[in-house]
Each structure stands twice: as C-alpha cells, then as structure tokens.
Structure 1
C-alpha cells in the first residue's frame, strides 16, 4: 500500500492528499495514517513542501470529519429510516446516545479521532444527537493537531530509514488503537451506566 501512495501523491501532490483524506473522513476504509506518513516521506525527498503538506493533511482530515458530522446534524434521525438501519437505531438507543454525548461527548470525540473504523459512525451520531458544533470542532482539531505532526515527522525525520519508520508506524497504530479503544470503551461503559442509574431513579 505504501508504494502505491508514494506514486499517487507524487502524481497528484496536495490535491491527492486532500482528496483521499476527505474520503477517509467520510468512511472510506483506508488508513489515513498512511497518507500522512507518505506525505512526510515525500517531503523528506523534496517532492512536496513540508509545511504546506501538514496544512493540507489537517484541512483534509477536518473537512472530512465536518462533512460526516454535518450529514448527521442536518438529516438527523431521517438517516435511520433506511430499512437496514431501523432495527439498530431504535428511539431508545438514540435517546441513550444523546445522553451519552451530553455527559462524555468531549472525550468521545477526542479519542474517537484515533480510532479508525469507529470514527465516522461516531461523528455521524454526534451530528444526529446535535452535539454542539463548536465543541465538536475544537476537540477534533486538538486531536488532529496532535496526531498529524507526529505521524508526518516520523517519516520526515526517519526518511533515510523508511523501513524502520514503517515498523514504528505499525507499532504506533496498534498502541494508539489499543489505548484509544480501552479509553473509549471505558467512557462508553461509564456513560451508559450513569444513564441506567438515572432511568432507575
């Protein structure tokens, strides 16, 4: 996958970075980490300019996240009128989701940014439950500002040892996913436990 994206980004440069990250934000099953990583490596090679590349990565990620949030916000529960979603998104579950975001929304958005596969549905539900836009954007921005420079710098500064950098990336992905999943699961469990306690009173 890495050689493919080297060729792709070399060919389409900043537009290519932006376009793929936008699709990743909309739920395309591609690891956005590898796009950021490849951008760093190509900056090391001098193919693209580092500061511009980091900026384009951030913008692509954030706009993709905002689109999926906006779809949820503006279309709301109408999304769940599709037959295959009706049984999953019951009224009771939507109410619980709303309470969950009211209680733990900030943490869920922040850590959700690091969880590939859960990110898109989480941000969609954030929009559906009308989680405040300003808070959503702030938490997503903070998480992106942390993750993007780290991944970019890894391949930029270790460009001469790219295989070693790829091994580090693979390890970081596993660590981030494991830690993020544990934290997210804990937040999710605590939130629904609190909701259950309120319902029994």
Structure 2
C-alpha cells in the first residue's frame, strides 16, 4: 500500500497535513492516511492514541479553516476557484441546498462521504451556519470519522486492503439508507403539518 510508505516516512506530521488540507477543500487521501497510520500503530510503529488525536485535531481545525474561508470569501470565491478542486457551480448549489435544509446533520454525515467531506466546512461558512453550532457538529463528525477509520486500520493487520474495500462499500450503503430514512421522515412530518392546516 503506497500510503503506508508515505506515512512511515513523514509520521504523525504527514497524517496531520494530509487530513488538514483535505478538510478545507483540497482533494487529498485523508481517510487512507488515517487507516495507514493506524495499521502501522497495529504493528507497533506508532501509538494508536497519538494517531487518532492527531487526525482528529487536523480534521476539526481543517474544517474550521474551511468554514472561515466560506464565511469570509462567500459564494463568489467558491464560484471563481471551485472548479480547481472539482467544486462546480451545480455541485455547489446541491451542497448549499442540503446544508440549508439539514445543516448540523449534514456536517456529521458529510465526513463519511467522499466529495462532501472536502467542502463541508466551506459550504457551512458560505450558508452562514452559526459557527458555535458548526463547531459542535464538526467536532462530533470528526471524532466519529477518525474513530471509525483508526479502529479499522489498527485491527486490520495484513488484510487492510480487503477490509477497507468492504467497509467502504457497506458504509456507502448504510449512509444512503440513513439519508433515505431521514428524507422520508422529513417528508412525512411536512405532510402531517399540511394535513393539520
């Protein structure tokens, strides 16, 4: 696994840098870096708690930087430079619509979705979600995300690639099911409100 070599060379600083830059909008393999570092910890090269804390802080701070980029620069900044990091205007509109409707829940769920994860903070800032609320849910999402992938990497042993592929596949299914259930719940609630009027 190529990432294992990079993590072995740069250690905790490498993990922190990769996760940090990914969290404020630059496409980088943050998830893979956490899994690789945790796998090394499982083999005795790193301390698993240090890996988890490093990745957690990098994720939470990176997303917060993204939030302030979105808050200060706003939509014009994203429209102008978004294409360089695969954030096209149609994709931005979808993110903004989701964030406006489901704000805090999206901050947590986006952590586990490739593409959403990178622009989570930026879009939250652009849509002017209050920072204390964003920070609370951002910290929760970062803790769950880092905890999940650190655990996977640590216990994976020599089956690291098989396990991450399987978990990624089922995680996407689980998240999709959760989103469908959430939307069904919201639709049902609105229908009941209209029936009462």
The normalised TM-score by structure 2 is 0.77
* 1:27-42 correspondence runs (5 A): 27-42=25-40
Q: Is the contact made by 1:112 and 1:180 (CA closer than 8 Å) also made in structure 2?
A: no
* 1:1-201 correspondence runs (5 A): 3-80=1-78, 82=80, 88=90, 97=97, 101-159=99-157, 162-163=158-159, 165-184=160-179
Which whole-Å deviations, capped at 9, do the CAs of 1:45-81 have from their partners, x for residues lacking one? 2222221111101111112211111110111233256
RMSD: 3.3
Task: Report the CA distance between 1:149 and its aligned residue.
Answer: 2.1
Total equivalences in the alignment:
186
Q: State the alpha-carbon separation in 1 of the partners of residues 29 and 89 from structure 2.
A: 29
The normalised TM-score by structure 1 is 0.76
Q: Is the contact made by 1:108 and 1:184 (CA closer than 8 Å) also made in structure 2?
A: no
